[in-house]
Amino acid sequence: MRRKIVAGNWKMNKNLQEGIALAKELNEMLAIDKPNCGVVICTPFIHLASVTPVVDNAIIGVGAENCADKVSGAYTGEVSAEMVASTGAQYVILGHSERRAYYHETVEILAEKVKLALANGLRPIFCIGEVLEEREAGKQNEVVEAQLASVFNLSAEDFGKIILAYEPVWAIGTGKTATPEQAQEIHAHIRSLIAGKYGKEVADNTSILYGGSCKPSNAKELFAKPDVDGGLIGGAALKAADFKGIIDAFK
């Protein structure tokens, strides 16, 4: 059966010392009060090599927030999937709406990134979700279907390594959360698309996280929905107590 997961996306926050302190604080909290779900923290690249050794890997997985769409070579400023994996990280967020919007990451570029992440043993946390105008036009189902093309070219075995995150862009960092009913409706739709492509067993085994202004006060209600398997958390992942509050929604 699919895993319940709470993953944090630190984005471009925390300097190295602050990041290490946050990872240590969370690790201490979860060592005392063990989580009932998988926990992942996705950090800026420069934190990875320092954060992986300070967390208990049996409790907290570590991931990057992006990786390059090229293997190696003359791509100044880029960080490859192999480099990410060499830090001990096991996950990578791909397709985040901020990457799609500000860095023009297309379905094709993301398909390359996913392929390279998997080739290097990383599990992609692959984000999909519509913008406000698309939601208002009732186009959310077709938008997520088009975005899934980046992962629907994979073999069933490789697709089984993907964690999906449905993140309505209008809910990210806005304080405006999708209602549990809205989340359930589209998560069920996403699962039906997976079933159509890979069959029911693969669909049932795929973790689909919700992301968008998730906090301790609304996590329990969202995660109680049958097709919501946890959360991808931005702002509330920057304070150990808030992130732990969301993790505790599974208690």
Task: Kindly list the catalytic residues.
Answer: 96, 167
Burial grade of 90 (CB within 10 A; 0-12, 13-18, 19 or more): middle
Q: Which amino acid is at 195?
A: A
To ligand PEP, the closest distance from the beta carbon of 213 in angstroms equals: 4
Look at the alpha carbons of 190, 191, 192, 197 in this order and tell me if their dihedral is positive or negative: positive
SS3 call for 35: coil
Q: Is 167 left (phi over 0), alpha (psi -120 to 50) or beta?
A: beta
To ligand PEP, the closest distance from the beta carbon of 239 in angstroms equals: 12
Q: 107 to 166, contacts with ligand PEP by CB under 6 A? A: none
| Of the candidate residues 39, 235, 240, 244, the single one contacting ligand PEP (CB under 6 A) | 235
SS3 call for 132: helix
Contact range with ligand PEP by CB under 6 A, out of 15-23, 26-34, 115-123, 212-220: 212-220
168 vs 198 by CB, closer to ligand PEP: 168
| Of the candidate residues 41, 144, 163, 172, the single one contacting ligand PEP (CB under 6 A) | 172
| Of the candidate residues 163, 232, 240, 249, the single one contacting ligand PEP (CB under 6 A) | 232
- At residue 133, φ and ψ (nearest 5 deg) are -60, -35
Residue 211 binds to ligand PEP (criterion: CB under 6 A) = yes
Q: Which residues bind ligand PEP (CB under 6 A)?
A: 9, 167, 172-173, 211-214, 232-236
